[in-house]
């Protein structure tokens, strides 16, 4: 199931054009007063792909982008909608390899979700799970920051995150939560099997019940003066440690 969504900005528009075969672009709108080369090349590429383009007033683009920095272009895409808990478990049941999942506990900053989607795509995650309440969803800003990953990584919105974590355990996944209070570092933890990496909200970390549902907690070693990393940076560190361990395990198994 898909629905029309808007994305804006040059990078997001170029990424959407690259994904056009799987994510149809419905229409493209350009600032009638701008004639710079990069916008011109994008307009030509969209025309060549048979996509309707229209020159409009900057004020109209401002409204379409909700005041965001559109850089002179707004696209209407037929993007996937957020999926639910049952679709998540259908995806896991069909997975051929050991699944890697990212769970975000009430992350509300669209820039952080967009960056997490990029990292999830690059690290081979089969999806990102977010709770129904107090968590950002797939917005135009998220799609812009994700730079194409919003079209390739499913976002699963679940009604009860604690219950979903219990179901993930029942499906054979280990649940690892990130916490600065953890005794174990991520480098000393085993992250090679079916795994859900759980990160908390900006500034607050994991909620108490979410933390209790984790099989174990890990912390990222911090050598400097800052107390914690941005959630999207922490997601990258944790997911790529899991990728590193899985690659090392595959190399050993292949010998």
pLDDT tens digits, 146-186: 877 888 899 999 999 999 999 999 999 999 999 988 889 99
Dihedral of the alpha carbons of 39, 42, 44, 47, in degrees to the nearest 10: -120
Among 36, 59, 80, give the residue marking a domain's end: 80
Residues whose CB falls within 8 Å of the CB of residue 77, separated by 6 or more in sequence, listed in order: 4, 5, 6, 7, 16, 23, 24, 25, 26, 143, 151
Average pLDDT, stretch 109-113? Answer: 92
pLDDT tens digits, 77-87: 876 678 999 99
Q: Provide the 8-state DSSP code for 171.
A: T
User: Is 126 found in the same domain as 204?
Assistant: yes
Three-state SS sequence of 125-146: CCCEEEECCCCCCCCHHHHHHH
What distances in angstroms separate CA 88 from CA 92, 115, 127, 128, 218, one per listed residue? Answer: 6, 21, 8, 9, 25
User: Is 225 found in the same domain as 186?
Assistant: yes
User: Is 126 found in the same domain as 15?
Assistant: no
User: Is 221 found in the same domain as 111?
Assistant: yes
pLDDT tens digits, 36-59: 999 999 999 999 989 989 999 999
**CA distance linking residue 115 with residue 124, whole number of Å:** 14
User: Is 76 found in the same domain as 90?
Assistant: no
Task: Show the tokens assigned to 136.
Answer: 């950002």
Among 37, 58, 80, give the residue marking a domain's end: 80
Among 80, 107, 124, give the residue marking a domain's end: 80
User: Is 90 found in the same domain as 168?
Assistant: yes
| pLDDT for 23 beyond 80 | no
CATH of the domain at 210: 3.40.1280.10
* The pLDDT value given to residue 251: 63
* The pLDDT value given to residue 42: 94
User: Is 141 found in the same domain as 20?
Assistant: no
Residue 29 φ/ψ region, left for φ over 0, alpha for ψ in the -120 to 50 degree band, beta for the rest: beta
| Parent domain of 73 | 2-80
CATH of the domain at 17: 3.30.1330.30
Report the chain's mean pLDDT, rounded to a whole number.
89
User: Is 90 found in the same domain as 75?
Assistant: no
| pLDDT for 205 beyond 70 | yes
pLDDT band per the 50, 70, 90 thresholds, residue 221: confident
User: Is 62 found in the same domain as 10?
Assistant: yes
| pLDDT for 2 beyond 60 | no
**CA distance linking residue 242 with residue 54, whole number of Å:** 45
User: Is 70 found in the same domain as 23?
Assistant: yes
What is the tally of structural domains in the chain? 2
| pLDDT for 22 beyond 70 | no
| pLDDT for 74 beyond 70 | yes
**CA distance linking residue 104 with residue 116, whole number of Å:** 9
User: Is 100 found in the same domain as 66?
Assistant: no
Contact 175, 213 (CB under 8 A): yes
């Amino acid at each position: 199931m898909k629905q029309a969504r808007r994305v804006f900005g040059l990078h997001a528009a170029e990424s959407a054009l690259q994904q056009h075969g799987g994510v149809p672009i419905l229409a493209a709108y350009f600032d009638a007063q701008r004639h710079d080369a990069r916008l011109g090349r994008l307009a030509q590429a969209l025309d060549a792909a048979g996509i309707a383009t229209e020159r409009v007033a900057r004020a109209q683009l401002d409204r379409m982008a909700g005041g965001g920095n559109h850089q002179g272009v707004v696209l209407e895409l037929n993007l996937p909608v957020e999926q639910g808990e049952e679709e998540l478990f259908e995806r896991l049941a069909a997975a051929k390899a050991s699944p890697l999942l990212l769970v975000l506990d009430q992350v509300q900053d669209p820039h952080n979700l967009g960056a997490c989607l990029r990292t999830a795509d690059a690290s081979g995650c089969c999806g990102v799970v977010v709770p129904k309440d107090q968590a950002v969803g797939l917005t135009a800003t998220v799609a812009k920051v994700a730079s194409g990953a919003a079209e390739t990584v499913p976002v699963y919105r679940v009604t009860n995150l604690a219950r979903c974590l219990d179901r993930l355990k029942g499906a054979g996944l280990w649940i690892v939560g990130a916490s600065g209070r953890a005794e174990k570092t991520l480098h000393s933890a085993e992250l090679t099997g079916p795994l859900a990496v759980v990160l908390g909200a900006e500034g607050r970390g994991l909620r108490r019940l979410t933390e209790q549902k984790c099989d174990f907690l890990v912390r990222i070693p911090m050598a400097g003066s800052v107390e914690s990393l941005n959630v999207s940076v922490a997601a990258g560190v944790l997911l790529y440690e899991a990728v590193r361990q899985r690659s090392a395990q595959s190399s050993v198994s292949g010998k």
